[in-house]
Structure 1
C-alpha cells in the first residue's frame, strides 16, 4: 500500500483497505499494529467529514453519502470493540442517523448491520469511562446506573428472536453473542464495585447472573453452526472467551444449591468451552486458563 501523496484525495477504497488490515492484524493478535491501522481509518474518515452530510451531498450526491455513512458506522463499531478490549479512548461520535435502506442490497444485510450498530451505540462515553474504571478505579458506579444500563440492553430489540428472524445464521451468531457480551460487561462493572449479592432479587444485581447467561447462550447457540460463528474471526472468539471465562469464575466461586444445579452449570460451561476451543487458532494462554477451570470442576478435558 503506497503512502498518501500530496495531491491525492482520501477515498472510500483506501479507508476500506486500511480497515481490512486492522481486522487481519487483530486476527493475528498484533493488537498494537492493529491499533495503528484503526487510527488511520478513523483519521481518514474524519478527513472525509462523513459526519457532515451536507458537505457530502454538495460534492458527491446521495449514493456517495450513503456509502460513506456505512463506512463510518463500520469503523465506529470496530473502534468501540477495540476500546473495550484494549482500554483505548475513542474518537468517533455516533452519526445522527442510522444507515438508510439501500435497494441494491438484500434487506437482511441492511437489517443485520443496523442491529449491530444499535448494540454498539450502547457503548457510549459514560459506559467506557466506567469500564476503564474497572482497571483503574477512579469512576463512581451506582446500582441505579447498573440497572439503567441493563434496562437499555433489554429494551434494545437487536438480537431478540423477533429481530433475527429472516437473518442468516452468521448474522444471528454475531447479534446473539454480542448482546450477551454487553450484558456481561455491565455485570463486570458492577462486580468491580462490589455492587452484587448472591441474595439479590434482581437478576442483574445477582452474583449468579453469568450462570443464567450461560444457560441462555447454550440454548441459543445449539442450533447455530460452528461455521456461522467462526466466520467472524477473532472478535467473536474474544467475546466468547470473555463470556466463558467469567461464567467459569462464577461457577467456581458461588456454590450451587443442589447437585442437579451443579451438573447444569458445569454442562453449560463445558458446552461454551468446547465451542470456543473448536474455533480456529484459539489463544494458547486463554485455552490453558479455561482448561484449568474445567479441571477444578473435575470435568475431563479432551
Structure 2
C-alpha cells in the first residue's frame, strides 16, 4: 500500500527520523512502548534542495570588461581634500517631476524677497543650470530652496494643469531625490545648502526635531568640507558649485541659524567654537554680506552666555550685565542695508536683551531698588518700547521673509512684557503720570504682531488673553486725570453711555471665562 507523505511531521518523529501520520497525537507516538508527548513546536523547514550561492570569481579570472580600473576608483576619492565628485553612474535614474517654469517663478520670488535673509544662491546661474543641465544635485537644491521660500513667504499653491504644487510637495520630492543620489557619500556645498533650506522649511511648519536635525546635518557637512577653516575660503570652487554666491559667509550663515534655533529650543549648539569672519567678507561692499556679518556679531557678543561650559545658574551677575551692555552698544554700520536685514538685526538684538533678563529673573537677581536697569522689573517695558520703535519703520512685506523665527522672538519680548504688567502692579502704577504706559506698549505690540500671529493660533490666544486682561485691569486714566461727566459732552444721551457701560461689562465677563495663561 502506498502511503502519501504527510505535510507536517511531529517533533518526535523528526528527531527519530521515522514516518509520521501527521495527526495529533500521531500513530507512532501513540503506539510506542513508552508514552511520548506528541508536539509540533519546531518550525517547518522548506522542502527541496538547498540553494547554493555562486562562488566568487577571482579578479585575475574576471573578464577584462568587468574589471575596475584605478581611474574609476579615483572618481570617488576627495579632490583637494574638499569636494567629493559624483561618479556618473553613482545615482539611479531620476526624472524631473516639477516643471522648470514653476521652479523659476519661486526662485525669482526668493531673489526679490528672501535673498537678503539667505544671500548664498546665485539665481542667474541656478536658472541656467535648471534649463541646460540634467544634474540631480542642482535640481535637488532648487527644490529645497523653493520649499523654504514658499513656506517663509506663505505663497499660495501653484496650479500646473490638474496638479497643485505646494511647499510640502517640493520638500517631499527633495527628500526622495537626495536619497537616490546618495548625498551623504557624494557630499558638496550644494548638499549643505539643501540641508539648510530643509531646516528652514521644517522650522516654518513647526516640526522642531526635524528642523534641528537638518541644521545640525548642515553644520556637520560643512565641517567635513572644511568650510569652517579660514584657509579654505580662497579655494577655487568647482564648476558645479558656481551656483553658490558669497561663499565666504556660507558657514557664518549656518552658525547663526543653528545658534538662533537652539536658543528657541533651550538647547546648546552643536558647534561651540566661535565663528571666524574672513578678511575678504568683512571688507566686502556687498550690503547683504555686511548685514549677515553684523548679525553674527550679535551672537558673538552673547556667545559666553550661550556656550558657557558651566551652567547658566553658575554664571555671575556681572557676566549678564556686561553681555547686555555689549549688546546695547552694538549698532548697524554705515551704508545701505536691506529693510528685511535691518528688521532681523533689530528684533534679534532686543530678543537677546530679554533673554538675558529672563536668566536674571530665573536666578532671583531682580530687585525694585537696583541701580542697574537690567536687574529691575521695569526692563521689559524698555525693551518693548525699543522693539516697538524699531518695528514702526518696517512694513509687513519687510517682516514676512523672516518667517516663524522672528515671530517667536517678538513673542518672547511681548510675553515677558505682558507677564510683567499682570504680575507686578507697581510697575503700571509707576507709569501713571505718562501718556503711554506699559499696557499701551503691550497693546501696540499685539496689534503690530497680529497679522503674523495668524500663523500660530497658540501664540495668538496667549497674547490675546494677556493683552485683554492687562487693559481691563489697568487703572483708568480718565479717573486719575480728574475728568468728570461734562467731558462726555452734552450732545451724548444716556442711552449711548449705558451701551458703553454694558459693553465694558460684557468684556469683563468674557475675559473671566478665558483660561488663565499668565503664570
Aligned to 1:96: 276
Q: Which has the higher helix share?
A: 1
CA RMSD of aligned residues (A): 3.0
Flag the structure with more relative contact order, 1 or 2, with Cα contacts below 8 A and sequence separation at least 6: 1
Q: Distance in 1 between matches of 2:316 and 2:184?
A: 52
**1:25 Cα deviation after fit:** 0.7
**1:239 Cα deviation after fit:** 0.4
Aligned to 1:275: 448
Aligned to 1:231: 401
- Partner-residue secondary structure (3-state), 2:471: coil
Paired residues, number: 290
Stretches of structure 2 that go unaligned for 5 or more consecutive residues are: 1-176, 473-506, 511-519
**Is 1:154–2:333 an aligned residue pair?**
no
Q: Against the structure 1 CA distance between its residues 164 and 250, is the aligned structure 2 distance closer, same or farther, given a 3 Å change threshold?
A: farther
Match among 187, 190, 200 for residue 10 of structure 1: 187
Deviations 1:28-59 (Å, cap 9, x if unpaired)?
00111111211211111111011223356467
Match among 185, 206, 211 for residue 355 of structure 2: 185
Q: Against the structure 1 CA distance between its residues 55 and 172, is the aligned structure 2 distance closer, same or farther, given a 3 Å change threshold?
A: closer
Q: Identify the range of structure 1 (64-73 vs 233-242) with the bigger mean alpha-carbon deviation.
A: 64-73
**1:89 Cα deviation after fit:** 2.3
Q: Against the structure 1 CA distance between its residues 8 and 272, is the aligned structure 2 distance closer, same or farther, given a 3 Å change threshold?
A: same
Tell whether the 8 Å contact from 1:84 to 1:131 is kept in structure 2 after alignment.
no
Aligned to 1:259: 432
Tell whether the 8 Å contact from 2:230 to 2:276 is kept in structure 1 after alignment.
no
Tell whether the 8 Å contact from 1:50 to 1:68 is kept in structure 2 after alignment.
no
Matches within 5 A, 1:54-73: 54-55=231-232, 57=234, 60=237, 67-73=246-252
Match among 315, 319, 325 for residue 145 of structure 1: 319
Q: Distance in 1 between matches of 2:291 and 2:224?
A: 28
**1:281 Cα deviation after fit:** 3.6
Q: Against the structure 1 CA distance between its residues 284 and 66, is the aligned structure 2 distance closer, same or farther, given a 3 Å change threshold?
A: closer
Tell whether the 8 Å contact from 2:439 to 2:471 is kept in structure 1 after alignment.
no
Deviations 1:82-117 (Å, cap 9, x if unpaired)?
1101122222223332463499x8632122111111
Q: Distance in 2 between matches of 1:130 and 1:241?
A: 28
Matches within 5 A, 1:178-217: 178-217=348-387
TM-score under structure 2 length normalisation: 0.51
Tell whether the 8 Å contact from 1:276 to 1:282 is kept in structure 2 after alignment.
no
Deviations 1:158-183 (Å, cap 9, x if unpaired)?
4xxxx376212212211111100011
Matches within 5 A, 1:32-71: 32-55=209-232, 57=234, 60=237, 67-71=246-250
**1:222 Cα deviation after fit:** 1.4
Q: Distance in 2 between matches of 1:87 and 1:231?
A: 24
Q: Distance in 2 between matches of 1:97 and 1:288?
A: 41
Q: Distance in 1 between matches of 2:390 and 2:364?
A: 30
TM-score under structure 1 length normalisation: 0.85
Q: Distance in 1 between matches of 2:232 and 2:432?
A: 64
Stretches of structure 1 that go unaligned for 5 or more consecutive residues are: 134-138
Q: Identify the range of structure 1 (117-126 vs 282-291) with the bigger mean alpha-carbon deviation.
A: 117-126
Aligned to 1:222: 392
- Partner-residue secondary structure (3-state), 2:437: helix
Match among 345, 365, 370 for residue 175 of structure 1: 345
**Is 1:285–2:446 an aligned residue pair?**
no
